[in-house]
Amino acid sequence: MKKFIHFPSQRPSLIATIAAAVAASFALVACQPSSKQLKEAVEKDPSIVFAAIEKDPEGFIEVVNKAAQKAQQKGAEKAQAEESKKREEEFKNPLKPAIDPSRAMYGPANAPITIVAFSDHQCPYCRRGNDTLKEVLKAYDGKIRFIFKHLPLDFHPRAMPAAKYFEAIARQSADKAYKFSDEVFENQADLNKRGEDFLKDVAKKVGADPKKVEKDLKDPKLMDRINADMEEAKKFDISGTPCFIINGVSLRGAFPFGDFKSIIDRQLSQAK
């Protein structure tokens, strides 16, 4: 995604960036004003910046892009450090999502690892997360119990209907519900384009009884489960999707296989 600079709202930060860059370059060869002094001078007379931009616009953009990249890198490093710290805390004090034995589950009930996902069928990152999850389930065949929970986001209008169809189909068969889920993720473009007509077709494709699905969609208890999932997500401070909770340790985002593996292997090792 391209990023565009909007000068009126970002002028102070750009001035600071330019001043710091200029001060740093001159400091290598001579005694020059500090970045703070340059910043103060430029703030008093912004035309200095505009003149510099007009003289070398390509160089200006290069400086700004480098500064933005550096800021992004620092932000990513900080976020990663915070994530690691939080993960360690959850190893010591795991999150405890509710496990209702009556809801659809994938994998053996006595598996040593339980993964609970808070997900949204219209979310592109959830699709990516689901692809990774399938790799995880294959790699740890028989060692994982998976539970899909719902967090349909407000700006994904197809997500709530998909959640309702999942739960309606789950009343007939957990296996069919998870096949339905995979089909919806794999054909997300059709979900976006066709909406409920697509959901009906997928329900038929996985072998669900259409009449029973239609009846169960109208049952208020079906929404009770979805609402309970959403409330639980709030309790865990989960506001985005996907979020995977692996034996109480959370992965908040569409992380690659290696992140799942590091948590699962550590938990399996501790269990031994």
Q: What is the pLDDT of residue 17?
A: 59
Q: What is the pLDDT of residue 67?
A: 76
Tokens of 61: 């953009």
Q: 150 with 180: CB under 8 angstroms?
A: no
- 218-257 pLDDT, tens digit per residue, is 999 999 999 999 999 999 999 999 999 999 999 999 999 9
Query: What residues contact residue 176 under an 8 Å CB cut-off, 6+ apart?
Result: 169, 170, 206, 207, 208
pTM: 0.74
Residue 149 is classified by DSSP as E
Q: What is the pLDDT of residue 39?
A: 73
Flag whether pLDDT at 262 surpasses 80. Answer: yes
CA dist., res. 263 & res. 249, Å (int): 8
Confidence of residue 16 (pLDDT cuts 50, 70, 90): low
8-33 mean pLDDT = 54
Confidence of residue 272 (pLDDT cuts 50, 70, 90): confident
Asked whether the CA dihedral 182, 184, 185, 189 is positive or negative, the reply is positive
Flag whether pLDDT at 3 surpasses 90. Answer: no
Of the chain, the percentage scoring pLDDT greater than 70 comes to 85
Confidence of residue 7 (pLDDT cuts 50, 70, 90): very low
Question: Domains of the chain (ranges plus CATH)?
Answer: 7-92 (no CATH), 113-271 (3.40.30.10)
Q: What is the pLDDT of residue 154?
A: 95
- 157-183 pLDDT, tens digit per residue, is 999 999 999 999 999 999 999 999 999
Q: What is the pLDDT of residue 9?
A: 44
Q: How far is CA 193 from CA 14, 90, 190, in A?
A: 41, 40, 5
